[in-house]
Amino acid sequence: MIRALIFDFDGTIIDTETAWYVAFKEAYREYEVDLTLEMYSRCIGTSLHAFNPYEYLIAELGLPIDRERFRASVRKRHAELMRQEKVRPGVLDYLESAKAYGMKIGLASSSSREWIDDHLGQLGIGGYFDYLSTADDVRRVKPDPELYIRTLNGLGVLANEAIAVEDSPNGVRAALAAGMHCVLAPNEITSLLEFPGVLHRVGSLGDLEFRRLIATPLSS
């Protein structure tokens, strides 16, 4: 029996990922460097340790760039692009349906708590979540399963009683490593990446009726 849904945030609830990639790619182009999706994908859904797009031009290529000015310009462009973004299709329906069915709702994000709180407040959806885990709460972020394990414990459910909703390969790997089933709803950028096996893959949650998801037989 499915008792809980656990959502990723960036790229899953709202498509922050495409805006970040576009902002960084445009910034790199000013220095005649092509930021490929293959390079950038290493930091999608995880921390910036695997690939830090803020530092690559300076630390790896040795370009004379003012760090703070570069960071500020990228963030400004990202904010401009994000003004066009809304909650992804189907997300609100899933949140409302899960509440109507008496299910618990969690959030497991590799982003900081400040980032998550700010965006949930702006979107007006923070009240739907019963338990949140962010990068501030764990030693290792995705693809490590610690975020999901912490959220499962916080919700008081077993891994086979919850379904993760993800958009990135690192997120899917984390959910599977925690013993969960996972619904994949990739965004414009992450749809081009390779993924491990998932319960359902959809263009958006709007393509998968909530009742069909919770009626799907799950093996333990």
CB 23 within 8 A of CB 30: no
- Residue 106 backbone dihedrals phi, psi, to 5 degrees: -120, 165
Distance CA 165, CA 172 (A): 8
Q: What pTM did the predictor assign?
A: 0.85
How confident is the prediction for the chain on average, in pLDDT? 92
Which bin fits 11, alpha (ψ -120 to 50), beta or left (φ > 0)? left
Q: Residue 89 has which token pair? A: 């299709």
Question: Which of 18-22, 91-95, 204-208 comes out lowest in average pLDDT?
Answer: 18-22
Q: Give the angle 51-56-58 at the CA atoms, nearest 5°.
A: 155
Alpha-carbon Rg of the chain, whole angstroms? 17
| Range 2-17 average pLDDT | 94
Of residues 10, 15, 144, 167, which has the active-site annotation?
10
Q: What is the pLDDT of residues 100-145, one digit of tens each?
A: 999 999 999 999 999 999 999 989 999 999 999 999 999 999 999 9
- What is the second-level CATH architecture of the domain 4-15+88-215? 3-Layer(aba) Sandwich (3.40)
Q: Please indicate whether residue 8 is annotated as part of the active site.
A: yes
Q: Please indicate whether residue 10 is annotated as part of the active site.
A: yes
Q: What is the pLDDT of residues 134-183, one digit of tens each?
A: 999 999 999 999 999 999 999 999 999 999 999 999 999 999 999 999 99
Distance CA 207, CA 61 (A): 43
Q: Residue 2 has which token pair? A: 């499915």
How many angstroms separate the Cα of 116 from the Cα of each of 65, 110, 126? 29, 10, 9
Q: Residue 78 has which token pair? A: 């990202």
Q: Give the angle 186-144-111 at the CA atoms, nearest 5°.
A: 60
Q: Hey, where are the domains in the chain? A: 4-15+88-215, 16-82
